[in-house]
Amino acid sequence: MSQAVPPGPEALFTGSSQMHALVRAHDWASTPVGPVASWPTSLKVLVKTLLGSRYPMILTWGPELSQFYNDAYSAVIGDKHPGALGTDIRGTLAEAWDALGPLVMEAMTTGVASWVPALMLLLERSGYREESYFDVSHAPAFDDAGAIGGMLAVCAEVTQQVLSSRRMRLLRDLSARASDTPSVAKTCADLMSAMAGHPLDVPFALLYLRSADDRSLTLSGAVGLERGGPLSPETLALEPDAPEAAFFLRALAGERVRRDGLESRLSLKGGPFGDAVGSLLLQSLAGAGTAAPLGVLVTGLSPNRAFDEGHASFCELMASQVAVALRNARAYEEERRRAEQLAELDRAKTAFFHNISHEFRTPLTLMLGPLEDVLARGPVTEAARQDLEVVHRNAGRLLRLVNTLLDFSRLEAGRIDSCFEPTDLAALTQDLASHFRSAVERTGLAFVVDCPPLPEPVYVDRQMWEKVVFNLLSNALKFTFTGSLTVRLTATDDAVLLRVTDTGTGIPAQELPHLFERFHRVHNARGRTHEGTGIGLALVSELVAQHGGDVRVDSVVDEGSTFTIRIPRGSAHLPAERILAPREHASTATGARPYLQESERWSDPEAAPASVLPSPGAQGLSGPPPEAQRPRVLVADDNADMREYAQRVLSPSFDVTLVADGQAALEAAHASVPDLVLTDVMMPRLGGFGLLRALREAPATRAVPVVMLSARAGEEAAVEGLEAGADDYLVKPFSARELVARVRSMLELARMRREAVRQELLAASLRESLQARDDFLAVASHELKTPLAAFRLHLERLERSLGEEALGRARSPLESAGRQVQRLHALMETLLDVSQLTTGRLALDLIDVDLTSVVGDAVARLRDEVERLGVTVTLEAGTPLVGRYDRLRIEQVMTNLLSNAARYGQGRPIAVRVASEDGTARVIVRDEGIGISAEDRARIFDRFERAVPARNYGGLGLGLWIARQVVEAHGGRISVDSAPGAGSTFMVELPLRGLPAA
C-alpha cells in the first residue's frame, strides 16, 4: 500500500489574497522552517487560520522566530513588506525590539499570554523613525506534540486615537488657560505655558504679534526655544527683502508655511526618542471679521510624526484657538479702556453740568430780574408786553432746567446740599398742591387733595420735597385729559406715603422698569405736549432716595397711573450731619411759578382745531381773488409760544394755519392741501416723522414741501430728517429772516419741480410722437415694397416679351426705369433700417465671416459701375480676417462707404485697404474728392446730417448714420479724417473675435 503524499502549499493555502499568493510562492525550503511538506500539522493550521483572518496577526515559529503574517499586518510594517515574510522578526522590528522582545520571549518561554494597550513603538516603516501606538497581545503557539513551537500575536494600531486624544487635551488646555483674559500679555504667557506641557506635539512655539503700525512683529511668547536666536528674534521688521521676513509675510497673507532642513540651526531634540527637530510651521492668527491678522504662530513639528492631513488640521485648530484667546484678550482690554474712558467722561460730564449750570444761572438771573421790573413798572404797549411775557416764561423754564441739571451734578458728585428738619408734612404738601388747583380745574379736571394731619413731624428737606411734589403734579397734568388728579398723604407704622393718582393715558407695562432712568421718555406717549427732558422722574427718584425712601409706580394704559412715595418716619435713617444742617449753596428751588407758567401754555390737542390766520388786510372770509392768493403754510408745533412766533413771522408774506400736533396737521392737510408744511419733530399723538410719512403716502399731499423744525442740532440730525423725505431741516434757535428765507426757497423749489414735471410730460409726448413716426416709417416701408416688387417684375416681363428689334429701341428707357426702381428699393430698405435702429429692433445674424472676402465682393460690385465713369478702385488686402459678423450688414456698410466715395470723389481714384492690428480688423476707404469741413465732421454720422458741399448731390443723410449704428452694434467704431478739397478717409474698426463680453 503506497504512502500518501502530503499536500503542497497550493492545496493548503488556496485563498485569493495577496498574502495567500506570497505564502504559496515563497521558497520555504531555504528558510529555517523547511518545506511546507515537513511542517507539523499545528503550524499548517495556524498559518491557514492566520491568512484567513482580517485582523492584523503575526506568527513566529522556531528558535529563529521566522515570520508568518496576513494582509492586515502587512500595513503595520509598511515598506518592510513583503521582504519580512519568512525572516527573523528581530531583524524586521529591530528598532522596536526593546519593547516587543520581552513580550515575545515571555510567551514562548512561560506559555503565559499577555495583552498591552497603547504600547508605544518605534517603527521605521515609512522612511523615518515613527512614533506609533498599538494594542498588542502575545500568546504561545503549540506544535503537534503540545510543546511551545512559536508565538502568535494579534495587534491593532491605535496611533491616531492616541494622538487625537493627546492633541485634544492640548486644545482644551489652551482654552482653559486663556479663559481668564485680563490682558494680552498674560494671555500670551498662559498660552505658552499650556503648550509647554505638550512637548511631543509642540517641541517649541513662538508667538509673534503685529505692531501698531503693521511694520514689524514682536515676540510675545516663547517655549522650548531660546528667545533672540537666529530663528527667534525679539523683533522682526516686515521688509520684503529680508530673508526671514519673507516667510512671515507669506503666513500673514494666509499661507500655511512649512520650513524643513533646520536641524543645524535649531539644535533642538524632540519627540519621544530624542531626535533632532528640523521642521517648523508658520500660521497666521486671524483677526476679528475682516480685520488684519493679529500675528503669526510658529510651532516646531515632531521629528517622529509625518505632517499628514490630521497633523495639519490639528495645527490649524491650535492656531485658531490661540487667535480666539488673543482676540478675547484684546476685546477685554479694549472694553476695560472704554469703561475707564466712559468713567472719565462721566466725571467730566458731571463737572461740566455743575460748572455750566452755575454759569447759566447768572445770565438768567440778569434776564429775569430786568424783565420782571419792566413788566411790573411799565408802561409798555400790549404787543410789547406779550413779547416780554413770552421771553419771561421761557427764561423761567430754562432756569428750571438749569437747576435740575445742577441738582443732578450735585447728587452725582455727592455734594448735595441737604437740610433735614422736622416738618408738618401734611400742611406743607397741601400748600404745595394748592398752587396747581387753578391750572388743573382750568382744564376741566377734578382736583382732590387729601392730606390729614400726621401723628408726628416728618424729617424732610423742604426744598427737595417741593421739587418732588411739583414734578409729580406737573407730570400728571401733562398726561391727563379727562377725569381727576388726586394727592393723598397717609401714615403707616414706620413710614409716610404720598400718592399722586391720575386718570390719564397710563404707561405701557414694558416701560415701567425704565421710567425712573435718567433721560428716558415713553415712546409715542400721548400728552398735552411732547416737550420735556426725561429727567423729572429721575430727579424725583434721586431726591426720595436722599430721604432714605423709595418711589414706585402702578399704571394701566388708558386708565391712569399712581406714583407712590415712601419716606421713613424718624431720623435714624438720615445722615446725622445733615439734620438741621446749614445750607452751603444757593437754593435751586424756583417755586411753582415756572411749572404753572408752562402748564398754562399747554393746549389740549383733541380740543384744539386748526386755526387759520389770514394775512393782515384779507378780503373777508373768501380772501383775495384767486390770482392774488398768497401761498398757504401749515404750521404744526405743540409749543404755543413757538406757534405764535411762527405766525407773527410768516403772516406778512403767507397765509398761516396753526395746529398743535401732527395728527391735527394731517387732518388739516387732507381737508385743504397747503403749499408748504412747517412741522416740529417731537409732538404728541403724531410726531414730525410720522406726519411726513403720512403726507408722502397720500397722493394729494405727496409733492407738498415739508420743512422740519427741531432742537436736535448736528449733521446727523439733519441727515436723518432729509433721508426721511423732508425738503429742509431747520435747527432751533433760528432767526425770523432765516425762517422766511427757507420757506420762500422751498416754495420756489416746489414751483420749479412742478414746471420740471410739466416739461417731462411734454418731452414724453414728443417721444411718443417720434415713436409713432418711426412705426409709420416701418409700416410704410413694408407696404411700399410690395407694389415696387410687382412693378419690377412687370418690367422684367415686358423686357422678355419684346422682340429683338423692339427691345433695342426700348432698352434705354427700360434700363432707366430699372435704375429708378432699384433706387426706390434702396430708399425703402434705408427707411426700414432707420425704423429698426430707432426702435431698438435691429438684430444681428452673427456667423464666422471672412471680412477680407466681404470687402472684396463689395469692391468688385462697385468697380463695374464706376469704371464706366472713368473711376478706378484699388483694393489692398492680405490674409483672411475672420470674425463673427452679420455678413449682410457689413456688406451694407461697405456699399454705403464705397458709394459715397464714388459720389463725392469727383471721378478720382478710390483706394480700399484691409488690415489687422492687435486683434482688431481695419477697413480704410480713401477718396480724393470734395472732402469734409471740421464743423461737418463733428456731426456727419448723425441722422439726416450731410456736409455742406454734399447737399448739392442729393441723398437723405442716413447712410453714414446707419453705418455707424451697424458698426457699433458689432462692438466696433467708425471714424473719418478729412479736409475740404483734400478728400476723405473713412476707417471701420471691428473686433476679430466677435462682440465683447457684456
Sheet of 655-659, strands arranged across: 611-613, 655-659, 632-636, 676-680, 706-710, 728-731
pLDDT of 676 > 60? The answer is yes
Q: What phi and psi, each to the nearest 5 degrees, are found at residue 565?
A: -105, 130
Superfamily of segment(s) 417-600? Histidine kinase-like ATPase, C-terminal domain (3.30.565.10)
Question: What topology is assigned to 605-617+629-734 in CATH?
Answer: Rossmann fold (3.40.50)
Give residue 771's pLDDT: 67
Length of the chain: 998
Instruction: State how far the Cα of 215 lies from the Cα of 503, in Å rounded to an integer.
Output: 68
Give residue 824's pLDDT: 55
Give how far Cα 161 sits from Cα of 68, 77, 165, Å: 27, 19, 6
pLDDT tier at 168 (50, 70, 90 boundaries)? very high
Are 69 and 84 within 8 A, CB to CB? Answer: yes
| Winning range, highest mean pLDDT, from 73-87, 531-545, 606-620, 830-844 | 73-87
Count other Cβ atoms within 10 Å, centred on residue 629: 11
Q: What percent of the chain has pLDDT over 70?
A: 77
Segment 190-242, tens digit of pLDDT: 999 999 999 999 999 999 999 988 889 999 999 999 998 889 999 999 987 87
Are 951 and 958 within 8 A, CB to CB? Answer: no
Does 605-617+629-734 match 174-339 at the fold level? no
pLDDT of 812 > 80? The answer is no
Over residues 908-927, the mean pLDDT reads 90
Are 59 and 67 within 8 A, CB to CB? Answer: yes
pLDDT of 778 > 80? The answer is no
pLDDT of 15 > 70? The answer is yes
Identity of residue 545: A
Over residues 5-32, the mean pLDDT reads 84
User: Which comes out higher in pLDDT, residue 157 or 950?
Assistant: 157
- Min mean pLDDT across 216-225, 360-369, 667-676 is at 360-369
Identity of residue 669: A
Instruction: State how far the Cα of 99 lies from the Cα of 464, in Å rounded to an integer.
Output: 89
| Winning range, highest mean pLDDT, from 411-420, 423-432, 789-798, 857-866 | 423-432
> Running DSSP on this structure, what letter comes out for residue 301?
P
Instruction: State how far the Cα of 136 lies from the Cα of 591, in Å rounded to an integer.
Output: 96
Cis peptide upstream of residue 293 (ω within 30 degrees of 0): no
Give the bridge partners for 448, in sequence order.
Answer: 486
Question: C-alpha cell of 123?
Answer: 517603527
Torsion of CA 222, 226, 228, 234, to 10 degrees: 10
Segment 712-748, tens digit of pLDDT: 655 555 677 677 778 888 877 777 888 888 899 889 8
> Crossing angle, helix 804-838 and helix 959-969, to 10 degrees?
60
Instruction: State how far the Cα of 151 lies from the Cα of 660, in Å rounded to an integer.
Output: 105
pLDDT tier at 453 (50, 70, 90 boundaries)? very high
| Winning range, highest mean pLDDT, from 33-47, 337-351, 970-984 | 33-47
Q: What share of the chain is helix, strand, coil (3-state, %, to 5)?
A: 50, 20, 35
Secondary-structure class of domain 842-991 per CATH:
alpha beta
User: Which comes out higher in pLDDT, residue 552 or 15?
Assistant: 552
Q: What percent of the chain has pLDDT over 90?
A: 36
Contacts of 81 (CB under 8 A, 6+ apart): 74, 75
pLDDT of 257 > 50? The answer is yes
Segment 95-113, tens digit of pLDDT: 999 999 999 999 999 999 9
Are 468 and 538 within 8 A, CB to CB? Answer: no
User: Which comes out higher in pLDDT, residue 702 or 769?
Assistant: 702
Give residue 657's pLDDT: 93
Instruction: State how far the Cα of 846 lies from the Cα of 284, in Å rounded to an integer.
Output: 52
What is the DSSP track for 805-854?
HHHHHHHHHHHHHHHHHHHHHHHHHHHHHHHHHHTT------EEEEHHHH
pLDDT tier at 754 (50, 70, 90 boundaries)? confident
pLDDT tier at 436 (50, 70, 90 boundaries)? confident
Over residues 479-503, the mean pLDDT reads 91
Burial of 483 per CB tally in 10 Å (0-12, 13-18, 19+): middle
| Mean pLDDT for the chain overall | 81
Give residue 773's pLDDT: 58
pLDDT of 434 > 50? The answer is yes
Angle at 8 between CA 6 and CA 13, to 5 degrees: 125
Over residues 288-303, the mean pLDDT reads 90
Give residue 833's pLDDT: 60
Domain 9-157: give its CATH code.
3.30.450.20
pLDDT of 982 > 70? The answer is yes
pLDDT tier at 360 (50, 70, 90 boundaries)? low
pLDDT tier at 616 (50, 70, 90 boundaries)? very low
Give residue 576's pLDDT: 85
Give residue 116's pLDDT: 94
Instruction: State how far the Cα of 611 lies from the Cα of 660, in Å rounded to an integer.
Output: 10
Over residues 869-893, the mean pLDDT reads 85
Cα 657 off chain centre by: 44
pLDDT tier at 959 (50, 70, 90 boundaries)? confident
pLDDT of 943 > 80? The answer is no
Give the bridge partners for 223, in sequence order.
Answer: 205
Tell whether the torsion through CA atoms of 534, 536, 540 and 545 is positive or negative: positive
Identity of residue 93: L
Give residue 774's pLDDT: 61
Over residues 371-396, the mean pLDDT reads 73
Give the bridge partners for 232, in sequence order.
Answer: 229
Give residue 996's pLDDT: 43
Give residue 280's pLDDT: 94
Q: Among residues 455, 358, 340, which one has the least CA distance to residue 399? A: 358
Over residues 437-462, the mean pLDDT reads 89
What is the DSSP track for 405-456?
HHHHHHHHHT-----BEEE-HHHHHHHHHHTTHHHHHHTT-EEEEE-PPPSS
- Min mean pLDDT across 389-398, 546-555, 642-651, 916-925 is at 389-398
Question: C-alpha cell of 375?
Answer: 413788566
Question: C-alpha cell of 323?
Answer: 487667535
| Winning range, highest mean pLDDT, from 21-35, 236-250, 513-527 | 21-35
Contacts of 464 (CB under 8 A, 6+ apart): 418, 543, 546, 547
Over residues 156-185, the mean pLDDT reads 87
pLDDT tier at 259 (50, 70, 90 boundaries)? very high
Instruction: State how far the Cα of 538 lies from the Cα of 534, in Å rounded to an integer.
Output: 8
Place of cell 483706394: 911
Question: C-alpha cell of 941?
Answer: 454720422
The domain spans of the chain are 9-157, 174-339, 417-600, 605-617+629-734, 760-840, 842-991
Give residue 566's pLDDT: 94
Sheet of 114-123, strands arranged across: 66-69, 57-61, 148-157, 130-142, 114-123
Give residue 628's pLDDT: 52
Question: What topology is assigned to 174-339 in CATH?
Answer: Beta-Lactamase (3.30.450)
Give residue 125's pLDDT: 86
Are 491 and 454 within 8 A, CB to CB? Answer: yes
Contacts of 486 (CB under 8 A, 6+ apart): 447, 448, 449, 450, 499, 500, 501, 502
User: Which comes out higher in pLDDT, residue 58 or 473?
Assistant: 58
pLDDT of 443 > 60? The answer is yes
Give residue 750's pLDDT: 87
pLDDT tier at 930 (50, 70, 90 boundaries)? confident
Over residues 13-25, the mean pLDDT reads 90
Instruction: State how far the Cα of 87 lies from the Cα of 65, in Å rounded to an integer.
Output: 8
Over residues 953-977, the mean pLDDT reads 79
Could you tell me the pTM of the whole model? Answer: 0.43
User: Which comes out higher in pLDDT, residue 149 or 399?
Assistant: 149
3-state secondary structure 450-473: ECCCCCCCEEECHHHHHHHHHHHH
Instruction: State how far the Cα of 168 lies from the Cα of 164, in Å rounded to an integer.
Output: 6
Sheet of 550-556, strands arranged across: 446-450, 484-491, 495-502, 560-568, 550-556
Over residues 166-178, the mean pLDDT reads 88
Identity of residue 926: R
Segment 71-99, tens digit of pLDDT: 999 989 999 999 999 999 999 999 999 99
Over residues 547-558, the mean pLDDT reads 90
Give residue 1's pLDDT: 42
User: Which comes out higher in pLDDT, residue 512 or 67?
Assistant: 67
Q: Among residues 114, 57, 120, which one has the least CA distance to residue 89? A: 57
Over residues 451-464, the mean pLDDT reads 91
Domain 760-840: give its CATH code.
1.10.287.130
User: Which comes out higher in pLDDT, residue 644 or 203?
Assistant: 203
pLDDT of 64 > 90? The answer is yes
Give residue 625's pLDDT: 43
> Running DSSP on this structure, what letter comes out for residue 925?
E
197 by DSSP, 3-state: which? coil
- Min mean pLDDT across 269-273, 492-496, 958-962 is at 958-962
pLDDT of 655 > 90? The answer is yes
pLDDT of 166 > 80? The answer is yes
